[in-house]
């Protein structure tokens, strides 16, 4: 069951490079998922951050 509660000691957001590593996908695929709205982003200045809840939601939605 997916909840909005953070996992203990898990960051709230990660940088693009870390999201790529965690998902095991390429950078281009991550940007495709962002563009299609399947992954949310937070922009702070020039930094793009990916909320961990968005990564968890993508995985939960993609389970078969």
* Higher-scoring residue by pLDDT: 52, 8: 52
In a domain, 49, yes or no: yes
pTM of the model: 0.81
Tokens 């982003």 sit on residue: 41
Q: Which domain holds residue 32?
A: 13-62
> Residue 63 has what pLDDT?
83
Identify whether 3 is part of a domain: no
The pLDDT score that the predictor gives to residue 3 is: 57
| pLDDT tens readout for residues 23-59 | 999 999 999 999 999 999 999 999 999 999 999 999 9
DSSP per position, 11-60? -SEEEHHHHHHHHT--HHHHHHHHHTTSS--EEETTEEEEEHHHHHHHHH
Q: How many domains does the chain have?
A: 1
- Asked whether residue 39 is domain-assigned, the answer is yes
Is pLDDT at 19 greater than 70 in this prediction? Answer: yes
């Amino acid at each position: 069951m997916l909840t909005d509660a953070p996992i203990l000691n898990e960051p709230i957001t990660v940088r693009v490079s870390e999201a790529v590593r965690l998902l095991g996908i390429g950078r281009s695929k991550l940007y495709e998922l962002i563009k299609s709205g399947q992954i949310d982003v937070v922009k702070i200045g020039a930094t793009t951050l990916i909320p961990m809840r968005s990564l968890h939601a993508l995985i939960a939605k993609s389970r078969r």
